């Protein structure tokens, strides 16, 4: 009899504990969901570094470029609209045509505080020499402006500064010389003629599925292939009998002749692939292969 009573007590306690645990699960489930949502909620993206935030829509880099261009264009007969950027203006003593800005480009934008900017602008300028000829010169200047997206004003005239220095020449990884009139050279030359001159069918020189369209209108009246180098070595005669799918990386230097017969030297880094015994262009490489990688 004591054993039966003890068994009944145990069963009763077990049922009560089970009910308590069940209610705990029911109560805890929403909490677990809430906690899970909090834990799994994506954290806000980190603030972009300064180098990634240089060209916001409300920053006055375009205005600064126009200001520097106006400053360089001003001469004693015309302020070149400088007052539109810098109300205090400037009285230039330059003769007309002695300094001609050709192009400008923003190099950096820095904001020391809200509503203030220092914009570094590079300008390609034609400067008249003592012999009367004009020589190109690169000029860099910082323009200081304040304002917002609705308007800007310069705090001072542009400040000439040193331009970024040019680094050492880059060594490229195209050690092999290829004949311009060889099998690879013929494909490259034919491609350049179709691509730049509009002579011949471009599809004949590009691999199937390659998204390369001819430049319209053509840039040049004629193209001459001067030098061709490849990354991959070839045994004598091997380039004339390539296996399908073989790739070769090449760099080509050419002369492009305009309608007046004037020459522009151009470089192309190309990837070619073999198909049906001939070479076809599969890609215009955006960056040549650097040596040592």
> pLDDT of 17-39, one tens digit each?
455 444 444 444 443 433 343 33
| Same domain, residue pair 187 and 275 | yes
Residue 280 and residue 192 share a domain: yes
- Residues 203-210: what's their mean pLDDT? 94
Q: CA-CA distance, 40 to 43, in Å (whole number)?
A: 9
Q: Residue 50 above 90 pLDDT?
A: no
Radius of gyration of the chain (CA): 35
Asked if the structure places residue 101 within a domain, the reply is yes
Does pTM top 0.85 for this prediction? no
At which of 161, 184, 207 does a domain end?
A: 161
Task: Say what the pLDDT of residue 292 is.
Answer: 84
Q: Is residue 243 part of a domain?
A: yes
Looking at the fold, whether 243 and 183 belong to one and the same domain comes out as yes
Which of 137, 161, 185 is the C-terminal boundary of a domain? 161
pLDDT at 87 over 50: yes
Mean pLDDT of 81-97: 92
CA-CA distance, 285 to 271, in Å (whole number)?
7
> Is the predicted pLDDT of residue 220 greater than 60, yes or no?
yes
CA distances from 269 to 229, 234, 250, 289 (A): 10, 18, 6, 8
Strand arrangement of the beta sheet that strand 222-230 belongs to? 176-178, 222-230, 247-257, 263-275, 278-284
pLDDT of residue 15: 53
User: Residue 40: in which H helix or E strand, if any?
Assistant: helix 2-40
Q: d(Cα 24, Cα 215) in Å, to the nearest integer?
A: 73
User: How far is it, in rounded angstroms, from Cα 59 to Cα 65?
Assistant: 12
- Same domain flag for 153 and 183: no
How far apart are alpha carbons 207 and 259 in whole angstroms?
A: 30
Range 230-257 average pLDDT: 93
- Angle (CA) 192-211-274 rounded to 5° is 65
Q: Measuring CA to CA, how many Å separate 90 from each of 78, 94, 99, 291?
A: 10, 11, 16, 51
108 and 204 belong to one structural domain: no
Q: Do 197 and 256 have their domain in common?
A: yes
| Residue 240 belongs to domain spanning | 176-284
- Are both 203 and 108 inside the same structural domain? no
User: How many domains, in total, are found in the chain?
Assistant: 2
218 and 131 in one domain?
no
Is residue 68 in a domain? yes
Report the percent of the chain where pLDDT is more than 90.
72
CATH of the domain at 212: 3.10.450.540
Q: Three-state DSSP class for 195?
A: helix
Q: How many CB atoms lie within 10 A of CB 87?
A: 9
Residue 156: predicted pLDDT: 97
Q: What is the mean pLDDT of residues 165-171?
A: 94
DSSP H/E element including 267:
strand 263-275
Question: Both 141 and 219 in a single domain?
Answer: no
Query: Across residues 217-241, what is the average pLDDT?
Result: 93
Cα 87 to Cα 79: distance, rounded to the nearest angstrom:
11
Res. 8: pLDDT tops 60: no
pLDDT value at 226 more than 70: yes
Residues 155 and 212 in one domain: no
In a domain, 240, yes or no: yes
DSSP 243: P
């Amino acid at each position: 009899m004591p054993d039966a009573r003890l068994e009944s007590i145990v069963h009763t306690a077990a049922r009560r504990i089970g009910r308590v645990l069940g209610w705990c699960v029911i109560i805890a489930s929403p909490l677990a969901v809430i906690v899970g949502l909090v834990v799994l909620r994506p954290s806000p993206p980190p603030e972009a570094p300064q180098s990634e935030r240089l060209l916001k829509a409300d920053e006055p880099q375009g205005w600064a470029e126009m200001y520097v261009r106006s400053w360089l264009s001003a001469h004693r007969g015309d302020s070149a609209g400088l007052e539109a950027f810098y109300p205090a203006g400037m009285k230039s003593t330059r003769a007309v045509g002695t300094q001609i800005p050709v192009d400008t480009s923003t190099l950096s934008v820095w904001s020391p505080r809200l509503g203030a900017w220092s914009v570094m602008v590079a300008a390609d300028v034609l400067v008249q020499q003592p012999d009367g000829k004009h020589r190109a010169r690169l000029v860099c200047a910082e323009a200081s402006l304040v304002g917002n997206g609705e308007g800007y004003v310069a705090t001072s005239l542009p400040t000439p500064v040193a331009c970024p220095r040019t680094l050492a020449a880059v060594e490229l990884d195209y050690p092999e010389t290829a004949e311009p009139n060889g099998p690879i050279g013929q494909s490259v030359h034919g491609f350049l003629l179709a691509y730049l001159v509009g002579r011949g069918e471009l599809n004949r020189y590009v691999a199937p599925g390659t998204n390369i369209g001819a430049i319209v209108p053509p840039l040049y009246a004629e193209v001459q292939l001067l030098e061709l180098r490849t990354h991959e070595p070839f045994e004598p005669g091997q380039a004339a009998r390539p296996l399908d799918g073989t790739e070769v990386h090449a760099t080509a230097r050419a002369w492009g002749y305009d309608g007046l017969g004037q020459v522009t030297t151009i470089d192309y880094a190309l990837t070619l692939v073999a198909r049906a015994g001939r070479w076809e262009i599969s890609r215009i490489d955006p960056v040549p292969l650097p040596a040592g990688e």
